[in-house]
């Protein structure tokens, strides 16, 4: 992701989440957070952002903070391929585990993560401040030496 991608990312963010991140949050992650790595998927013609992800790599863990696909591009395998890229990125960084939080009401997210091998490993009570919905914590062991 570059600064030029932020307007496209913001469109996806606001269309995907009830409490979207701000533009300044993405700028901070991109420019100032040494643990953050941000990725986009672009269409070639015209060059537009159709998906994005923000992860943190800390020690041997990669944490998915944010992943979303533009509504017009959902159910086409974009999210699955982006998630696999994140897993591969984590493996290349020497990570042994990937974690994330997901709303119990996010059936598409639960299906995506479950299909990639994530398991439910915990719950954060009233994690989401907008609805007070719990978060399901999901984890995926990563073998840093494996080539998948």
Catalogue the active-site residues.
101, 113
Contact 137, 124 (CB under 8 A): yes
122 beta partners: 137
Encoding tokens for residue 4?
A: 């030029």
Taking Cα atoms as reference points, which of 30, 32, 28, 25 lies closest to residue 10? 25
3-state SS of 33-69 is: CCCEEEEEEECCCCCCEEEEEEEEEECCEEEEEEEEE
Nearest-angstrom CA–CA distance, 112 and 83: 9
């Amino acid at each position: 992701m570059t600064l030029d991608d932020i307007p496209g990312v913001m469109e996806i963010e606001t269309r995907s989440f009830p409490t979207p991140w701000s533009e300044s949050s993405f700028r901070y992650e991109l420019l100032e957070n040494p643990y953050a790595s941000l990725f986009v998927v672009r269409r070639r013609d015209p060059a537009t952002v159709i998906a994005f992800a923000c992860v943190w790599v800390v020690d041997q863990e990669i944490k998915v903070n944010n992943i979303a696909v533009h509504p017009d591009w959902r159910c086409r395998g974009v999210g699955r391929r982006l998630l696999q890229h994140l897993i591969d990125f984590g493996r290349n960084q020497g990570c042994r585990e990937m974690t994330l939080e997901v709303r119990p009401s996010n059936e598409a997210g639960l299906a995506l993560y479950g299909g990639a091998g994530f398991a439910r490993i915990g719950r954060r009570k009233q994690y989401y401040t907008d609805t007070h919905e719990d978060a399901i914590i999901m984890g995926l062991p990563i073998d840093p030496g494996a080539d998948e």
